[in-house]
Amino acid sequence: LQHLVAAADKRGQQVLVIQSGGQELRTLDELTRSRSIDAVVLSAVLERDARVRHLQELGVPFACFGRTGTSAPQCWVDVDNRSGVRRATRSVIQRGHRAIAFIGYESPRRWDADRQAGYSDAMQHAELRRRVTVVDAAEQVSRRTLHFDWSGPAGRYGALVSGLGLTLMSTS
């Protein structure tokens, strides 16, 4: 975001950051009607995101942080979650760990599935057994804690790869 603001400033433009609390479409309508915006950068974009189709209908230029999966032409940038978790898992394997568990969210979001796939890629390549635990995202985030059984069904885990947006700490 800092780079976006700096680049806009060099061109004599401003960046307006809004959080509309679930009223995104109405807010986009108001900003477009009032000519307060020239373009939009969407964040946390999901597949078939209603905001994308809405902006296309309004004729407002936009770019996405995330992929929507729609066939319409659009500009987007995204994190390669699959590659990142694959590399993290390989790093743990290279340190000699063999009993490596993955913990992630049960979620319809592409990035959560990509993270788990990256773990599975690395484990399969190393011919190691995959141990996946998925948790309910809403419950875990609201509690801000996660209890994980380090002993696991097949013995003690040596390492944990996380697909969660939370910091994990071990007390054992």
Quick: pLDDT tens for 71-120: 667 777 888 999 999 999 999 899 888 888 888 877 777 888 899 999 99
63 contacts 74 by C-beta, under 8 angstroms: yes
Which residue would you say has higher pLDDT here, 154 or 78? 78
What is the per-residue pLDDT for 87? 94
**Three-state DSSP state, 157:** coil
49: pLDDT confidence band, cut at 50, 70 and 90?
confident
Could you tell me which residue, 101 or 126, shows the higher pLDDT?
Answer: 126
What pLDDT score does 137 carry?
Answer: 59
Q: Is the sign of the CA dihedral 88, 43, 64, 56 positive or negative?
A: positive
Residue type at position 144: R
Task: Please state, in angstroms and rounded to a whole number, the distance separating the CA atoms of residues 97 and 49.
Answer: 40
What pLDDT, on a 0 to 100 scale, did the predictor assign at position 171?
A: 40
Average pLDDT over every residue of 116-143: 79
pLDDT at 128 over 70: yes
Residue 165 above 70 pLDDT? no
Over 80: is that where the pLDDT of 160 sits? no
Question: Is the whole-model pTM more than 0.75?
Answer: no
pLDDT of residue 167: 44
Contact 128, 93 (CB under 8 A): yes
Determine contact, residues 148/103, Cβ cutoff 8 Å: yes
